[in-house]
Structure 1
Amino acid sequence: MSIAQAQSTDLIPLLRTYIVYSLISIPFLVDHAPQILDHLLRVPLVGRAVETIVRGTFFAQYVGGETVQDILPLIRRLRYENKGMLLGYSVEVDENVATAGTGHGTPKGQRSYEDASNSEQPIHKRIVEEIIHSIDTVGDFEDRLANESGIEGRGTWIAVKLTALLPRAESLRNFSMHLVHTRPEPPDSVPFPGTPSSSDLAILDRQSRSHPKSPLMEEDVRDLQELYANLRRICLRAKEQRIKIVIDAEYTWYQPAIDAFGHALMEQFNKLPENVWTKWLFSGSSSQRGPQPLVYMTYQAYLRRTPAHLAHSIALSRKRGYALGVKLVRGAYHPHEIASHIRSLHTMSISTDLDPPVYSSKVETDACYNTCVSVIVRAIADDIGSSPAQLPRLGVVFGTHNWGSSELVLHELVKNGLAREEGGVNEPRTVVIPREVAERCTFAQLYGMANSLTNHIVARTRSPIPFVLKYTPYGALGEVMPYLSRRAIENKSVLGNGGATRERKEAALVIWKKLFGSMGL
């Protein structure tokens, strides 16, 4: 698809993009948006008008719809543009609770659900059922797409956020503190929040769970056991429907526990065959044997631990015989991690290190991300070089809005012999991605953001299956408000260097071209 085709969009979404990014360009408004909205939404009459405005601007810009059924037309449209989707039911822990230390980190919207007269289940259980429902819905829709148009590959993935799947997110924090104090030290020291061990979940199976350094209570253990059982249910259904699962990263005070569950799930659901006969049985096409890796974990480049953590994860997956699924991102909680570490005596932080767990500058984060890109692509090249037909031992989603990092990924693929460039000297060069590489490697950008980069990657590459995903949340407006607040802050702080201004100017240019052509340009 050409850039011109990609820009051939309706005028109303373009105007909405221009308005949203104009507002995001105002620092004061972004910094105080959660408090302002919370106040205005409580005012009679005014609240209804504000809700209508938010629904028509930020909600429409960043959220795919209120239900998974609302998302299906968007999946279809993206697929015909050779783009996939990473779909997430976006109920998040309230950041004000998480960083102020005023509660246990309750998923936003939980109180309103539990207070509702028609509520029959706790919110965390209904979220589990909603995720399973979304897997079934998109799996069936993918089958219909394949039958209707012959489109290859399942281009829809599902994102899972663990704090939303517990009655109290505090159980994850307590488990994280337990792991920080009881994990065996890896051979090479990994900075906080550390790196997983194959024995992390052992405490959930023991008859006696007492440990002198453990903050875990019996209630925590019961909640964590339920969480693990529900995660296995989700992954089993995903395996049946051949839908990949991505476990999102969260605040560092939850991350050791999230890592523990994620690697345990990868060891179970990404297990590689152990002998030549099993390899022969699974040597069919990906549509026959199902996706591999099935489960992916998120690695945040703004964490100081990430290079060592990634190396340890690759080694652990090799040792334990499972495929490692990696979603590499820069990270979305930087201001909160810094603030929480500074006020660690009064907040959720569990780090005992003098330095914050995140890098202090974006330059350091960018360097870490790009270093990890090179390491991962080299590992994929080694994997394919050993035997192109075998099940992948490593899969990656490069989640980035950075043009330089995106070009680096393509450059590394070509340099390592995983892709080739086509085209003449004076014409755009196309990067051709073979199927065995596209099954192991893809890009992702957030829905409503970095559309010009998404379209550039699609135009720059040729792949038999979607090589770019749009991370698309869905949910009722009240449920996704923390997500919308974080997206606004992320546009200002993570994109940085005029990122919101660039998006606004790009929208303005396309609007002008649609209305006046090239006149005045």
Structure 2
Amino acid sequence: MSPLILQRSPTFCPVRTLASSARSSPHSAIFNAHRLTRIGFVSGAVFVSSLFYGNTQPTVHADAEPAKESDNVYERPRTPLSTLVRTYIVYGMCSIPPLIDYSSAILATLLSIPGIKQITEVVVRVTFFNQFVGGETAEEVIPLLEQMRSDNKGCLFAYSVEVDEEEAAGDVREDIKPAESAHKQIVAETIHCVDVAADFEDKHANGISGRRTWVAVKLASALSESLLNLSKHLVATRPLTSPHVAFPGCPLPTDLDVLDAQAPLGPLTPGDVAALRELRADLHAICSRAKERGVRIIIDAEYRYPAVDALCLDLMREFNKLPQPSKKSRSSWFGSSAVPTASPVQPAVQPLIYNTYQAYLRRTPEYLVQSIAAARAGGYALGVKLVRGAYHPHEISAHTAAETPSSTEHSHSLSISPEAFPPVWLTKPETDACFNSCTTQLIDHIRADVSAHRAGTLTIGVLLGTHNQESTNLVLCELVKQGLASEEAGVVRIPDEVAERISLGQLYGMHDSLTNHLVDRTRCSSPFVLKYIPYGNISDVMPYLSRRAIENKSVLGNGVAAIERQRAATEIWDRFFG
């Protein structure tokens, strides 16, 4: 069974997906058809009433202030009225935390009732699906890519189909295709996604520069047991670094040597080793195609376990390898001497592989320092996707459960950290400070890289994922402050050699006002802002939609949903009443 899947929660932190929730449990026999129907209608009533409730509630604690309009803006078409109404409805629902928390259960109930199921799918399609998902196939998303490129926005493309937990565990029903074929189909579709992204960029970009359609790959739960066991092995055997890096530590080039061992070591079983080898092969197949087609790959993961970092380092050391200087003999009055010269190599996109760094982890500042040093010593480019992180409650609860001897939590829910402190900062201000500090540090290294290789190979690339306006302002201010960009009349002009090394990323359908503000305020020959655009069949993507609301409650629940709802309402009012 291929262990590579996208957008799915690990089994060590169970999340009830729509597919698994909709199935009958042993206790469901007590519910007759009439009771299910009543539950369905009550659930539907909750959804409808939420529209009115959500639109009358005051704004909850805001994560970021609304973006101010710039006097220097691109001319873009007016947002269609239907899109404004959809945004108003969707964010009206997202403004109600209880509705977000119970969205999986409500949708699962509605989808289990014949007749109501079809209506529910239609409602989800015209609301949440169209708001947060680009389409059902990669080709279906191309018009959206064209529209975004005309607005000077790039794309972080992702095939976001989830594999059901029961299938991944081997409990496959007769009417469901085997899990192995599902995983292989996901690998094939991800490679197809790379090809679609490359074909699009071949039409819009000039050579290897300015290619702003990237592909995201998420390592997730079908291999959670094997990843967990490899992580335990690494925690027990990996030598300590100096200075110390907090859990989950800093990966080493020797981390995956255990996969070549004659016999499994420690907690690893022969099945774990076989699955991890196959995962490694699948990732290499995807990255090989990406290298051929000039498409950057972002490696995402819900939880930063040592095994995930080890796999990412393995990919970067191979696919981000920089051209090595060769030596040729030069004659002089004093005899022959060896002179370093650049090896003739085919130009390639660099960095090709980006790893995810989460600012809410206490290790991140020192881990970033050691990652940069390791890349220099190893002769490969470092790709960094810096985000705040969306799993703070899980990390805290898992660490607490692991320290409680009488805990009844499933072993997968327990932290494997050997340290007394949780792996994450305890407060959001600490996370914000870490994100901003790491951002400044990364821009420092970008400045040094531009100075050393202005017209040559890139040795560092950075994608900053944030919906926080304070952080985006910091990025632009630092670029200007360090001489990497110029500002005139409020417009920040970013030269190509800088734009190739740094970009901003945000979720499709979320905080578009901030995205437009950034596009209006910046000028560069290629998009500076990328939107994360998932795609997949609606029945397969529904679990992603429910989890998106739950997992990003730190974004939606902190006021962005209320701000977006109010913004849409204001524009709708202006359309009708001026």
TM-score, length-scaled by structure 1: 0.88
Task: Identify if the C-alpha distance between structure 1 residues 22 and 241 changes in structure 2 by more than 3 Å, giving closer, same or farther.
Answer: same
Partners of 1:246 and 1:151 lie apart in 2 by 17
Segment drifting more, 16-25 vs 490-499: 490-499
Q: State whether structure 2 residue 436 is matched by structure 1 residue 370.
A: yes
Task: Summarize the alignment of residues 411-490 of structure 1 with structure 2, pairs less than 5 Å apart.
Answer: 411-423=477-489, 429-490=490-551
Structure 1 spans left out of the alignment, 5+ residues? 98-102, 283-287, 424-428
Distance in 1 (CA, whole Å) between partners of 2:299 and 2:516 is 26
Q: Among 88, 94, 97, which residue is 1:27 paired with?
A: 97
Secondary structure of 2:462 counterpart: strand
2:242 partner letter: P
Are 1:262 and 2:325 matched, yes or no?
no
Render the CA deviation track for 1:468-509: whole Å, top value 9, x for unaligned: 100011112233233222321355323554221111111122
In the TM superposition, residue 415 of structure 1 has moved relative to its aligned partner by 1.0
User: Secondary structure of the residue that 2:220 maps to in structure 1?
Assistant: helix
> Is residue 224 of structure 2 the alignment partner of residue 158 of structure 1?
no
The SS at the match of 1:343 is: helix
2:365 maps to 1:315: no
- Out of 357-366 and 473-482, give the one that drifted further: 473-482
CA distance in 2, matches of 1:4, 1:14: 20
Q: 1:31 to 1:139 in 2, by over 3 A?
A: same
SS in 2 for 1:160: strand
Partners in 1 of 2:129 and 2:75 — Cα distance?
Answer: 25
What's 1:250 paired with? 302
**Where does residue 476 of structure 2 map in the other structure?**
410
> Corresponding residue for 2:342?
279
Structure 1 position 350 matched with structure 2 position 416: yes
1:40 deviates by: 2.1
Q: Distance in 1 between matches of 2:208 and 2:347?
A: 18
> Which position in structure 2 is the counterpart of 1:398?
464
Identity of aligned residues (%): 53
Aligned equivalent of 1:74: 144
Task: Provide the C-alpha distance between the structure 2 equivalents of 1:363 and 1:92, rounded to a whole number of angstroms.
Answer: 33
| 2:287 maps to 1:235 | yes
Q: 1:359 to 1:229 in 2, by over 3 A?
A: same
The letter of the residue matching 2:188 is: E
TM-score in terms of structure 2 length = 0.79
Q: Secondary structure at the match of 2:301?
A: coil
Question: Which amino acid in structure 2 is aligned with residue 412 of structure 1?
Answer: E
- Does the CA contact (< 8 Å) of 2:323 and 2:343 recur in 1? no
Is 1:511 aligned to residue 569 of structure 2? no
Greater mean deviation of Cα atoms: 412-421 or 120-129: 120-129
* Aligned partner letter, 1:181: A
Shift, 1:281, TM fit: 3.0
* Residue from 382, 387, 398 that aligns with 1:329: 387
- 2:174 and 2:186 map into 1 onto residues whose CA distance is 16
Q: 1:343 to 1:122 in 2, by over 3 A?
A: farther
Change (3 A) 1:93 1:169: farther
Shift of 1:31: 1.3
> Which aligned runs of 4 or more in structure 1 are off by greater than 4 angstroms?
1-4, 114-121
Q: Partner of 2:533: helix, strand, or coil?
A: strand
Tell me, in whole angstroms, the C-alpha distance in 2 between the residues paired with 1:57 and 1:432. 37
Q: CA deviation at 1:229?
A: 1.0
Q: Give the residue type in structure 1 aligned to 2:297.
A: I
* Cα deviation, residue 121, structure 1: 4.8
CA contact (8 A) 2:493 2:522 kept: yes
Instruction: Determine the C-alpha separation between the residues in 1 that align with 2:203 and 2:454.
Output: 30
Contact 1:93 1:482 in 2 (8 A): no
Q: Does 1:9 align with 2:67?
A: no
* Deviation sequence 1:358-380 (CA, Å, 0-9, x none): 22221111111001001100011
Structure 2 vs 1, CA of residues 120 and 296 (structure 1 numbering), >3 Å: closer, same or farther? closer
Residue 151 of structure 1: how far off its partner (Å)? 12
- In the other structure, the counterpart of 1:184 is 239
Shift of 1:7: 6.6
Distance (Å, rounded) in 2 between the aligned partners of 1:362 and 1:18: 28
Shift of 1:466: 1.1
Equivalenced residue count is: 487
CA contact (8 A) 2:168 2:179 kept: no
Cα deviation, residue 241, structure 1: 0.7
The alpha-carbon distance between structure 1 residues 240 and 183, as it changes in their structure 2 partners (threshold 3 A), is same
Letter in 2 for 1:228: R
